[in-house]
């Protein structure tokens, strides 16, 4: 096994255990909260039914600090509909319910405002915004939708979006000749193959995510590269990667390898076709778009 594969497997297992890997930073880098606030956040409780639902994915908050945990909890409640549009969010009430300071609440609401989930206006206060105002391309919102009532819609929409983005990226990447990225893509295929043989779905998933991110980088289109976070989110939500490391197959690995071979030979059409074949390996994508026609 290569050193690269060993490194990725070690990192994947560390992440799965909830421990931060090398260079891994808190997602929301605010100042650390006072000692009295370092306990896990309480869920909103009481007579208000809408505010009584607890976070659906406690593990998603690991390592994020109090600000990140509150963002996670409130974000899930908004996206799931527990907190409906135009619902007022009173900072003092949030602080009391979760037993956190006004600073933590204020900074958390700022993060949610940046994502388009809430708005704060003078004399009106902070309110939940309608879905049409949300930044639906934000990786956190993609995750929250994927684990809420809109799960099936989110998976379908991600599949449709990927069908548009990734074949184009593969075609463009074949014309750029980035040998460093091509080598890295080949490494990811090797790691995935070894991980599948070992039954290591964690490493397989992480190598798969890096493969697709690298491919978009190789396209040489900055606007496409800006969308790489969407693909990464798609590979991580709803219980497993969209390209099948949760149900690994030789077909999936073969399509990854054919993409690498097409890039190495500068075969743009071949790279695009291989990517489309890879995307329809997974049933959630196959029912969205037709398989490529045989000529």
DSSP 124-166: TEEEEPPGGGS-TTSHHHHHHHHTSTTHHHHHHHHHHHHHHHH
For residue 85, what pLDDT band results from cuts at 50, 70 and 90? confident
Let me know: does 109 contact 117? Beta carbons within 8 Å.
no
Say what the pLDDT of residue 149 is: 87
Proportion of the chain above pLDDT 90, given as a percent: 38
CB atoms within 10 A of CB 206: 25
* For residue 51, pLDDT beyond 80: no
Please tell me which residue, 101 or 228, carries the higher pLDDT value.
Answer: 101
Cβ neighbours of residue 287 under 8 Å, at least 6 residues apart? none
For residue 247, what is the DSSP state? Answer: S
Q: Widest CA span of the chain, in angstroms?
A: 67
Provide the pLDDT for residue 153: 87
3-state secondary structure 56-74: CCHHHHCCCHHHHHHHHHH
Residue 223: phi, psi to the nearest 5?
A: -70, -40
Q: Give the chain's end-to-end CA distance (angstroms, integer).
A: 39
Q: Is 229 helix (H, G, I), strand (E, B) or coil?
A: helix
Please say if the pLDDT value at position 213 is more than 60. Answer: yes
Asked if residue 64 has pLDDT above 80, the reply is: no
pLDDT score recorded for residue 117: 96
Task: State pLDDT tens for residues 129-147.
Answer: 999 999 998 989 988 998 8
pLDDT, tens digit, 9 for 90 and up, residues 154-188: 888 888 888 989 999 999 999 886 788 989 999 99
HEC per residue, 162-190:
HHHHHHHHHHHHCCCCCHHHHHHHHHHHH
Cβ atoms 147, 57 nearer than 8 A: yes
Highest mean pLDDT among 16-20, 122-126, 271-275, 276-280: 271-275
268-289 pLDDT, tens digit each: 999 999 999 998 865 444 444 4
Distance between CA atoms of residues 256 and 191, nearest Å: 12
pLDDT > 70 in the chain, percent: 68
Average pLDDT, the chain: 75
Pairwise CA distance, residues 130 & 185, whole Å: 40
């Amino acid at each position: 096994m290569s050193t690269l594969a060993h490194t990725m497997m070690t990192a994947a297992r560390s992440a799965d255990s909830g421990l931060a890997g090398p260079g891994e930073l808190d997602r929301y880098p605010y100042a650390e909260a006072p000692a009295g606030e370092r306990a896990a956040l309480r869920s909103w409780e009481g007579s208000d039914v809408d505010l009584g639902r607890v976070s659906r994915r406690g593990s998603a908050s690991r390592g994020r600090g109090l600000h990140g945990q509150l963002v996670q909890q409130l974000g899930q409640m908004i996206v799931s509909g527990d907190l409906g549009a135009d619902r007022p969010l009173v900072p003092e009430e949030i602080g009391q319910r979760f037993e956190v300071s006004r600073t933590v609440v204020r900074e958390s609401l700022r993060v949610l405002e940046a994502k388009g989930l809430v708005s704060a206006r003078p004399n009106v206060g902070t309110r939940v915004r309608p879905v049409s105002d949300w930044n639906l391309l934000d990786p956190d919102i993609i995750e929250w939708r994927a684990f809420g009532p809109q799960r099936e819609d989110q998976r379908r929409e991600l599949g449709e979006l990927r069908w548009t983005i990734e074949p184009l990226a593969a075609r463009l990447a074949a014309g750029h000749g980035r040998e460093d990225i091509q080598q890295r893509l080949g490494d990811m295929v090797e790691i995935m193959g070894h991980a599948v043989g070992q039954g290591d779905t964690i490493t397989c998933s992480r190598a798969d995510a890096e493969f697709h991110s690298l491919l978009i980088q190789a396209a040489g289109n900055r606007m496409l590269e800006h969308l790489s976070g969407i693909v990464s989110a798609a590979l991580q939500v709803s219980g497993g990667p969209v390209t099948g490391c949760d149900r690994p197959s030789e077909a999936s690995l073969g399509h990854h390898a054919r993409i690498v071979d097409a890039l190495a030979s500068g075969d743009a059409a071949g790279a695009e076709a291989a990517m489309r074949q890879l995307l329809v390996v997974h049933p959630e994508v196959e029912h969205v778009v037709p398989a490529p026609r045989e000529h």
